[in-house]
């Protein structure tokens, strides 16, 4: 039987040939996720070695260096493609109410819109954008030249995306009227209608190796880049390089959207942070004074000017949980029975912790940290305040203090699944794979039996289903999250 050069008593990453192959794959793909997931990588490599009747890691490395098709097949084994239409409804609401109105106003003379979906998987995200632009925002986009470039490293995903046929599960978030209007039933699948495919171009692209994509429809800069749930798999250095590339690829005052667990004020320091209900977006800082602010409506809050869309959300994408004023990266809200600081604030203002989140979302991390320390003096037994303190400390790279704050939060509430998940992420970043796995598995146990719609992070809203999905990416096969 074909086998990777290791034995049950010898860890796979002590095998020099395996380490060379692993490092080569990570260098080519940027998938830093596999640095501390050697057993996962071994299982996926084993399948390809068996198919190709190869017995050593060095021989397989030579093959993928010379055979691009085999390298693509390996990439298909390594990447994760689970997705669905309008995933993270709050982000699409922010796009529809804040980002696209701004871009449509800015580009009204040339009537052009260029969007790049990086890491598009099987196509649900770019097609969701097409539906948003051509259906929900049809009155403002009719007659416009709209092009959506959708790229992914996985050629099999792209082939599926170009077919435009999806199972019922991938459409699970769509209201029946949207599904009926935008898709044609084909047996057990649903094919997206041509009016929503003609503006989408799919192309294979390696974010680490290929630089910025160009082509007949995409020779200039992009108005919007979506790169959601992608950079979590990359190293910090690779992520920095990608963010710099994205910055260069955007038009002046262009926008970028990342996954709901990916915002980081330090990494996106060259961007303006825009906080919308339930989502964080980043906007390239304009070069000209005239471009200093997006041309969208503002509402005045009692004590600050905060960007808040005034357009009512489309009922077709309505989400009962969207009334919660969430800020991505926020974990917590102070308990209703313990708000001594918030009670002294002016009427109409947010809770004390909500104030901290708003400051952080605006990039005012130092001020948010200072206020958080003051809040801790009166809420020192609230585990959620300690957890948010940890998140702020991580934003300014105070790793030791961040760990201490998380441990205080867990001491006060050991059974918080998100706190355990977050602790696992910190351990992973420090290379403590075994300890991270224990945190992830315990978080999974705490979620066992909870309905997927159960809110596990107040005011996010982060549901048990969302957290289970995040944990599936972190827990090795054989230790899967229970549904």
pLDDT of residue 196: 96
Query: pTM of the full predicted structure?
Result: 0.54
pLDDT of residue 33: 65
Task: Write out pLDDT tens, residues 41-96.
Answer: 888 888 888 888 888 888 999 998 888 878 877 877 776 666 889 988 889 999 99
**H, E, C per residue of the chain:** CCCCCCECCECHHHCHHHHHHHHHHHHHHCCHHHHHCHHHHHHHHHHHHHHHCCCCHHHHHHHHHHCHHHHHHHHHHHCCCCCCCCCCHHHHHHHHHHHHHHHHHHCCCCCEEEEEEECCCCCHHHHHHHHHHHHHCHHHHCCCEEEEEEEECCHHHHHHHHHCEEEHHHHCCCCHHHHHHHEEEECCEEEECHHHCCCEEEEECCCCCCCCCCCCCCCCCEEEEEECCCHHHCCHHHHHHHHHHHHHHEEEEEEEEECCCCCCCCCCCCEEEEEECCEEEEEECCCCHHHCCCCCCCEECCCCEECCCCCCCCHHHCCHHHHCCCCCCCCCCCCCCCCCCHHHCCCCCCCHHHHHHHHHHCCCHHHHHHHHHHHHHHCCCCHHHHHHHHHHHHHCCCHHHHHHHHHHHHHHCCCCHHHHHHHHHHHHHCCCHHHHHHHHHHHHHHHCCCCCCCEEECCCCEEHHHHHHHHHCCCCCCCCCCC
pLDDT of residue 430: 79
In the chain, which stretches have pLDDT less than 50?
1-3, 5-14, 215-219, 288-350, 478-483
Spell out the domains of the chain, with CATH numbers in brackets. Answer: 12-78 (no CATH), 89-291 (3.40.50.150), 328-472 (1.25.40.10)
pLDDT of residue 74: 84
């Amino acid at each position: 039987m074909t086998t990777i050069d290791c034995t049950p008593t010898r860890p796979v990453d002590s095998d020099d040939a395996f380490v060379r192959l692993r490092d080569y794959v990570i260098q080519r793909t940027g998938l830093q996720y596999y640095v501390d997931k050697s057993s996962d990588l071994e299982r996926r490599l084993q399948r390809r070695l068996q198919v190709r009747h190869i017995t050593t890691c060095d021989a397989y490395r030579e093959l993928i260096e010379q055979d691009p098709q085999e390298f693509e097949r390996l990439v298909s084994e390594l990447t994760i493609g689970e997705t669905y239409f309008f995933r993270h409804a709050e982000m699409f609401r922010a796009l529809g109410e804040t980002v696209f109105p701004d871009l449509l106003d800015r580009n009204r003379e040339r009537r052009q819109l260029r969007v790049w979906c990086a890491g598009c998987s099987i196509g649900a995200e770019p097609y969701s954008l097409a539906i948003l632009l051509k259906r929900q925002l049809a009155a403002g986009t009719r007659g416009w030249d709209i092009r959506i470039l959708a790229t992914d490293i996985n050629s099999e995903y792209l082939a599926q995306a170009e077919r435009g046929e999806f199972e019922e599960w991938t459409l699970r978030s769509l209201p029946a009227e949207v599904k009926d209007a935008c898709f044609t039933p084909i047996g057990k699948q649903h094919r997206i209608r041509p009016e929503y495919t003609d503006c989408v171009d799919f192309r294979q692209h390696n974010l680490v190796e290929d630089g910025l994509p160009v082509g007949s429809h995409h020779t200039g800069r992009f108005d919007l880049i979506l790169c959601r749930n992608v950079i979590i798999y990359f190293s910090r250095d690779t992520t920095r390089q990608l963010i710099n590339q994205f910055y260069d690829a955007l038009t002046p005052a262009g926008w970028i959207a990342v996954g709901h667990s990916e915002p980081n004020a330090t990494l996106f320091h060259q961007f303006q942070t825009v906080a919308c209900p339930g989502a964080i977006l980043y906007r390239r800082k304009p070069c000209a004074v005239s471009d200093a602010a997006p041309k969208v409506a503002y509402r005045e809050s009692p004590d600050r000017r905060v960007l808040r869309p005034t357009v009512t959300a489309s009922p077709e994408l309505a989400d009962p949980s969207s009334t919660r004023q969430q800020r991505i990266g926020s974990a917590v809200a102070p308990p209703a029975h313990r708000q001594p600081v918030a009670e002294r604030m002016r009427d109409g203002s947010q809770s004390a912790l909500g104030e901290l989140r708003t400051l952080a979302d605006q990039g005012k991390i130092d001020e948010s940290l200072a206020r958080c320390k003051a809040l801790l003096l009166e809420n020192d037994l609230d585990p959620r305040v300690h957890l948010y303190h940890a998140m702020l400390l991580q934003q300014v790279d105070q790793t030791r203090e961040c760990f201490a704050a998380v441990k205080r939060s867990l001491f006060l509430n050991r059974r918080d699944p998100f706190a355990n998940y977050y602790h696992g992420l910190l351990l992973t970043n420090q290379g403590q794979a075994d300890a991270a796995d224990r945190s992830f598995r315990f978080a999974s146990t705490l979620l066992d039996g909870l309905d997927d719609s159960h809110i596990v992070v107040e005011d996010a809203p982060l549901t048990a289903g969302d957290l289970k999905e995040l944990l599936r990416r972190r827990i090795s096969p054989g230790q899967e999250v229970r549904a």
